Structure 1
């Protein structure tokens, strides 16, 4: 007889019927919980969000990312279209150059250009000089800001500026109220008097150029 049965051996003297000892078994509702397991479950519940909430959060993140990418793209476009120019543009006379080594034009090129303009009673204050090697602006970008009526390109590829027309060097052509003259670059002009004469002859056809 085990200890628990000995504790209840007095019962036959109280009850006339046979008695049977049955161990009490706790119901599933009375089973003691494991504190460690509870903490673990609670921690998982805190760390996990409902699926719908996670999906909604992910969608918002994607939308915000698209907005950010578009904003950066627009910002880059603005920077690409930005440009600086030298001169005061009093006569709406746009001069395009391509100087890779300097912000504006070299001193020797500046002297040559100054003398060419002076021959037509113009100065650097009458023109706007844009170094196209320092910007990705198109001709439309330049036009919106400078409103040129005359354009002289010194060795700049006009097609890359978004101007689809075919030009001949030193042959002025008027396109939508803008007179274009295509010239060789300054390096070629320095060493070739024939090219200088061709440029000067073409410039004389501009309304703003008084020879």
Structure 2
């Protein structure tokens, strides 16, 4: 077999068998080092689907850097709704009123309400009188969570809580947990004996 370049024998035979003494100098360590690749670069095979290459690249981008510090997010807590009301709500009997210039209720209206409650064998400690003007718009869900009312009296259209829907006037409604009466405001009732009588008739059913 004739080989023009003696270095080609390195791929088919052992070096000590085929190299002549005059050719050994051609295959020195420096010549081999010059031919050796300095870096191996992985190349995707042309037969590899492009979708697979893209998926691998996406996975590489999605890999978290373990040494990157993570800043904890502050926890924001919503405080519970606090209502300033008159009474102790011992019997879960809630009365909603609306007064722009009173903390709770006008003194003359409170005297009338206490007289009505007394006729029902109730005291001020048994109820919670809430002036919704201070919390407008007050939500029904917030009232339910705070007071757990078994009986709810709404005095006037401007006392209706948000989310209660449309209620018929002076027609008591019995819900699953709450007996509701939507009636006149005290200003409307105190100026009319008929309104007072109608209000009392419905209050007796609560």
Match of 1:169 in 2: 169
Contact 2:98 2:131 in 1 (8 A): yes
**Residues in 2 aligned to 1:130 and 1:82: alpha-carbon distance in whole angstroms:** 11
RMSD: 2.4
Deviations, residues 48-102 of structure 1 (Å, cap 9, x unaligned): xxxxxxxxxxxxxxx99xx78x94xx65xx48x4321110111110100001101
**Residues in 2 aligned to 1:114 and 1:160: alpha-carbon distance in whole angstroms:** 23
**Residues in 2 aligned to 1:93 and 1:140: alpha-carbon distance in whole angstroms:** 16
Higher helix share: 1
Contact 1:86 1:129 in 2 (8 A): yes
**Residues in 2 aligned to 1:162 and 1:150: alpha-carbon distance in whole angstroms:** 17
1:152 partner SS: strand
Match of 2:115 in 1: 115
Greater relative contact order (Cα < 8 A, sep 6+)? 1
Match of 1:183 in 2: 183
Whether 2:200 is the aligned partner of 1:200: answer: yes
User: Which sections of structure 2, spanning at least 5 residues, go unmatched?
Assistant: 1-70
Contact 1:83 1:134 in 2 (8 A): no
Contact 2:98 2:158 in 1 (8 A): no
Match of 1:89 in 2: 89
Q: TM-score, normalized by length of structure 1?
A: 0.58
